[in-house]
Amino acid sequence: MQLIKDGRIVEDGFARAADDAPVPERLPVIVSAARFLAAADALVRRAGPTGVVWPNNRNVAELAPYLDRLALVALVFPTFKDGRAFSQARLIRERYGFRGELRATGQVLRDQFLFMLRAGFDAFEVTKDADAAAFAEAAHRYSVFYQPTGDGRATARAGRVARAPTDSLANGSLL
C-alpha cells in the first residue's frame, strides 16, 4: 500500500498499533477507534503524535472533543459504494475545524479521488500501485472550483471578487 499526501507519494510516518499491542511512547501511531475511546485521555497526552482509524458507522461527534490533540484521523471507505466517509470528512473539517491529517483508507478509488480532496482529505492510502501515480497527478490537475468545500480552497467567485475593483462590487456586476 502506498500513501499519497499533498499530491506526492510519501513514506507513511505512522505505525499501526494493534489493540493488544503496547503503544510506543514517542513514535507516531494510529490506533483503532475502540482502543482510542477506551483510553483517549492517555493517548492524546502521550509524547508521540497520535492518530485514529474512525469507521464510517460511528458518529464523528464522539471524536470531536479530541480533534485538537490528534495528529491524524483515518476515515474508512469499506466499499466503493459507501460514501459516508465523505460526510464525516466534511463534518470533521468544517464543523469541528480539524487541521491535522485527514486520511482516506479502505476502498480508495481513483474515480473518487478529486471528490475526496474536495471533502477535505489530504492523504490517501492506495492499494493499487498503478493508481498511486494517477492520484498524485490528479491532485494538481484542477486549481479552480465553483463549489465551496472542506479543503479550504477559495471558490472561483471568491477569486473574482478578491481581484475586482471596488466599483464593480458596488454595482453588483460580479455577484
CA distance 164 to 16: 49
Question: Per residue in 97-133, pLDDT tens?
Answer: 999 999 999 988 877 888 888 889 999 998 877 777 7
Give the burial class of 104: count Cβ atoms within 10 A of its Cβ; 0-12 exposed, 13-18 middle, 19 or more buried: buried
Residue by residue, DSSP assigns 9-20 as EE----EEPPTT
CA distance 115 to 78: 17
* pLDDT (average), residues 11-27: 93
Q: Which residues contact 117 (CB under 8 A, 6 or more apart)?
A: 139, 151
Q: What is the pLDDT of residue 46?
A: 93
What's the grid cell of residue 83? Answer: 460514501
pTM of structure: 0.81
Q: What is the pLDDT of residue 77?
A: 94
Place of cell 465553483: 146
Q: Which residues contact 58 (CB under 8 A, 6 or more apart)?
A: 33
CA distance 113 to 135: 7
Q: What is the pLDDT of residue 168?
A: 55
